[in-house]
Structure 1
Amino acid sequence: MEILAFLFIGALAGWLAGQLVKGGGFGLIGNIVIGAVGSFIGGFTFHLLGLYSGSFLGSLVTATVGAIILLYVVRLAKS
C-alpha cells in the first residue's frame, strides 16, 4: 500500500512542479519519475534545513519542492 501512496504523491508532485515551472505536465510516467526523484531531493533539502513532516500534505509539499528544484537545475543545465 505504501508504494501506491508513493506513486500517487510522485505523480501529483511531478504534475504540480510541471505546472509551476514549465507550464505543463510530462505525462503520467514522467510526472511519477519527476515526483519520485523530487521527493528524494526535497527530503534531503528539508533535512538539511531541519524540517520534517510525516503527513500526506507534508510529503506532497516536500516532493513538489524537490521536483521544482530538479526541473530548475535541469533547465539551467540545458542553457
Structure 2
Amino acid sequence: MGWFFVIVMGIIIGLLGKFVAPGDRDNIPLWLTVVCGIVGVLIGYGWLGGTHGIDWLAFFVSIIFAAILVMIAATVTGRAKKA
C-alpha cells in the first residue's frame, strides 16, 4: 500500500466516515476528519487488506473505523456551536 493511496483514500474515507457518523459531526475541523480517515484506512487495510484489486470488506471496515474515529474526535475536540 503506497502512501499516496493512503492519503487519497484517507481523504475519501474520512469524509464518508463523517457522513455516516450519527449525529451532528460538523463541529470538527476538516484536517481532523482527514486524519481520522487516514487512520481508518491504515486500520482497515492493515487488518483486512493484502489482496489484489479492490478489497470491498477492507473498504467498508475502513469507513466504519473512520466513522468511529470521527465520533471520538468530535466528542473530545469538538468546537462549540455558535447560536
CA gap of 1:75–1:33, structure 2 versus 1, over 3 A, is closer
- Count of aligned pairs: 72
Deviation per residue, 1:2-52 (Å, 9 max, x gap): 22111111111100011122455954x4443121122345468xx5xxxx3
> 1:10 touches 1:33 (CA, 8 Å); kept in 2?
yes
Structure with the higher fraction of residues in helix conformation:
1
Query: For residue 3 of structure 1, what is the aligned residue in structure 2?
Result: 3
Give the distance between the partners of 1:23 and 1:76, measured in 2 at CA: 9
CA gap of 1:69–1:9, structure 2 versus 1, over 3 A, is same
- With normalisation by structure 1, the TM-score equals 0.58
- With normalisation by structure 2, the TM-score equals 0.56
Q: Equivalent pairs: percent with the same residue?
A: 18
Which stretches in structure 1 are left out of the alignment for 5+ residues? Answer: none
Counterpart AA for 1:10: G
Query: For residue 34 of structure 2, what is the aligned residue in structure 1?
Result: 32
Counterpart AA for 1:16: L
Give the distance between the partners of 1:77 and 1:10, measured in 2 at CA: 20
Give the distance between the partners of 2:36 and 2:61, measured in 1 at CA: 13
